[in-house]
Amino acid sequence: MNHVPEAEWVAYLADKIPEALKIEYENHLYSCDKCLSAYMEAMEKEEFGPDIEGFDIAGPVMDSISRLKEGPVEGEKQLRKEKSLRTITRHYLIAAGFTILLMAGGVFQSLTEYVDSVESISEKETQSLTDGLIDKTFNWMDTIEKKNKEGFRNE
């Protein structure tokens, strides 16, 4: 199969391509890094771009109003909702798959190792700081004790 252009991913995300083609694209996605990054880019644009049709508040409100007016939910609208829910689940699964890929690639592994090393360093520093405080306190107590003894002697 040929690479999928980003415009096609936009159409895919907008649910504008046939189901059979979607499956084909998805199968390709799992075996092609290039198309995976194109897909991720398309998804970012879809989510944060100026085109926010999907977040139109009037849609759901109008839906519930018409539901109140007409009684039972029309089958067509229900079907559309189920379809978009399925698309969201699908995107979520793809993102999860991408995370697993990253983990397998050791990206998170090296990150955790880095955090561990930073943490152990700061732990050591805290340890020595505490030790220093204890030492100082003991020295101070010793000094007081000596002074007291000297004082007794002087009397």
Residues lying near Zn ion in the complex (CB under 5 A) are found at 3, 32, 34-35
Distances (CA, A) of 22 to 38, 77, 110: 15, 22, 34
Q: Token pair for residue 84?
A: 């978009």
Shortest Å distance, C-beta 114 to Zn ion? 32
Angle at the Cα of 116 from the Cα atoms of 113 and 119, rounded to 5 degrees: 155
Residue (34 or 153) nearer to Zn ion, CB: 34
Shortest Å distance, C-beta 9 to Zn ion? 11
Shortest Å distance, C-beta 43 to Zn ion? 16
What burial class does residue 12 get, using C-beta atoms within 10 Å of its C-beta: 0-12 exposed, 13-18 middle, 19+ buried?
buried
Residue (28 or 91) nearer to Zn ion, CB: 28
